[in-house]
Amino acid sequence: MNDLLSDKDFETVHDILVEQLGVRSDQLTPEAHLRNDLGADSLMEIEIGMALEERFSVSIPDEQLENIRTVGDVYELLAKLLGSRSD
């Protein structure tokens, strides 16, 4: 999964997810479902989005944030946003 982001960005996202979700690092597999597996609620998902926006200076449209279901989705979305920022 970390082939989408630089190692530094991957670790930053990983740390944000651990902090916001209150889970162990080893629980953050790409397939882990934010709500079903990690106990996220809608407020936590918004806080994750805000933390990513602040840390990476990106804007995450609400409709894209609503489509995030798994940890892998978070990494993919951020990679897409960072990639489009450099175009």
Catalytic residues: 41
The Cα 10–Cα 7 span in angstroms is 5
Coil, helix or strand at residue 2: coil
Coil, helix or strand at residue 8: helix
Sign of the CA dihedral running 13, 14, 16, 21: positive
